[in-house]
């Protein structure tokens, strides 16, 4: 877990005896929500109960850290799941179809069955759903049944980048735990500790989210080229990066056209005042397009269309 989220964990731990059955941990992408949820899950399963931090030494902690705790389940899209490591001497599993980017109903049903069993350690059972908005409609409806009638001793930890995309019925059955951006000085100190060059530039591009800044810094040369000369791409991952870059370019151009300083440092220079509304409208379009970029489509045609709509001034 990252240091700026420790106060949140302490606050939750102080109410450990009266926690609700479901928490919705939400905030900007790149602020460490998943790390917070994982540390909370470990704390809930820790058998030493040593205050606001898991002990790291008991059987519960050791199993959790090894990824084999019998009372913990993680629910996430196949595209995010870690590939199992084959036993020594066994062949690696064959890759089949492209991993799904959705959480499916079969996965939720498996979690429901797990939660309705007795705890192996006589304690809680914890299910972590990440990112919760990646559940398809059937999966969300299946999870809702567990949230409406939660089994005794079961805790749901939902992690979300965009909680507004969750069904209202799910949001209403969770206690929200917002994870804000850390103070800039804390984020800069942490990035400096990671050995990041030009940390200020990438923290700005990340909108203040340290983990996103770390990710962007790792691909600095590629991103700089993309921002200088946006071009059509041939893959979905590239389409997502392009849509994000175009949105940030458009917002910076709109800010400067309105006489404000740029926020993301994505577009040099100042846009003419007359172009402010056009850039702002394009930025709003790109916000919508970023949600569509990972859907099945032709990435080259899709990205060429995004660039064709780019304002001229």
Q: Which of 53, 5, 44 is nearest to 177 (CA)?
A: 5
Provide the pLDDT for residue 84.
Answer: 44
Provide the pLDDT for residue 86.
Answer: 46
pLDDT band at 97 (very low <50, low <70, confident <90, very high): low
Domains of the chain listed by start with CATH number: 3-179 (3.40.50.300), 187-217 (no CATH), 219-308 (no CATH)
Assigned token pair, 54: 């898991």
Provide the pLDDT for residue 121.
Answer: 80
What are 185-188's contacts with CB under 8 Å, separation 24+?
A: 186/3, 186/4, 187/4, 187/213
Q: What is the pLDDT of residues 169-223, one digit of tens each?
A: 999 999 999 999 999 999 999 999 999 989 999 999 999 999 999 999 999 999 9
Question: How would you label 38-52 residue by residue, b for 16+ Cβ within 10 Å and e otherwise?
Answer: bbbbbbbbbbeeeee
Q: Which of 238, 232, 236, 233 is nearest to 219 (CA)?
A: 238
pLDDT band at 82 (very low <50, low <70, confident <90, very high): low
The owner of tokens 């172009």 is 275
**Among the residues of the chain, which ranges form H helices?**
6-13, 33-45, 59-66, 105-115, 137-148, 168-171, 184-193, 199-205, 210-218, 220-228, 236-257, 276-292, 299-308
- Name the packing angle between helices 105-115 and 137-148 (round to 10°): 20
Mean pLDDT taken over the chain? 89
Q: How far is CA 254 from the centre of its chain?
A: 27
């Amino acid at each position: 877990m990252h240091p700026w989220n420790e106060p949140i964990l302490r606050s939750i731990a102080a109410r450990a005896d009266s926690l609700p059955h479901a928490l919705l941990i939400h905030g900007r992408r790149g602020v460490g929500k998943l790390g917070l949820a994982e540390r909370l899950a470990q704390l809930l399963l820790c058998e030493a109960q040593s205050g606001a931090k898991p002990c790291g030494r008991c059987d519960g902690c050791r199993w959790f850290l090894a990824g084999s705790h019998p009372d913990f389940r993680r629910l996430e899209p196949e595209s995010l799941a870690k590939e199992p490591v084959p036993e020594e001497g066994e062949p690696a599993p064959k890759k089949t179809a492209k991993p799904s980017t959705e959480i499916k109903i079969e996965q939720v049903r498996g979690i429901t069955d797990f939660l309705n069993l007795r705890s192996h350690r006589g304690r809680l059972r914890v299910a972590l759903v990440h990112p919760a908005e990646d559940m398809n409609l059937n999966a969300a409806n299946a999870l809702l049944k567990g949230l409406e009638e939660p089994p005794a001793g079961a805790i749901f930890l939902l992690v979300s980048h965009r909680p507004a995309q969750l069904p209202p019925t799910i949001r209403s059955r969770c206690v929200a735990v917002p994870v804000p951006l850390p103070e800039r000085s804390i984020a800069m100190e942490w990035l400096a500790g990671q050995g990041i060059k030009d940390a200020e530039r990438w923290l700005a591009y990340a909108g203040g989210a340290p983990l996103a800044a770390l990710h962007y810094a790792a691909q600095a040369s590629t991103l700089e080229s993309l921002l200088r000369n946006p071009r059509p791409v041939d893959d979905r991952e590239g389409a997502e990066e392009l849509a994000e870059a175009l949105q940030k370019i458009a917002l910076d151009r709109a800010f400067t056209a309105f006489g404000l300083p740029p926020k993301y440092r994505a577009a040099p220079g100042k846009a003419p005042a007359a172009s402010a509304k056009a850039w702002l409208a394009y930025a709003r379009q790109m916000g919508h397009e970023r949600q569509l970029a990972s859907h099945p489509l032709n990435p080259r045609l899709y990205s060429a269309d995004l660039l064709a709509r780019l304002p001229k001034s």
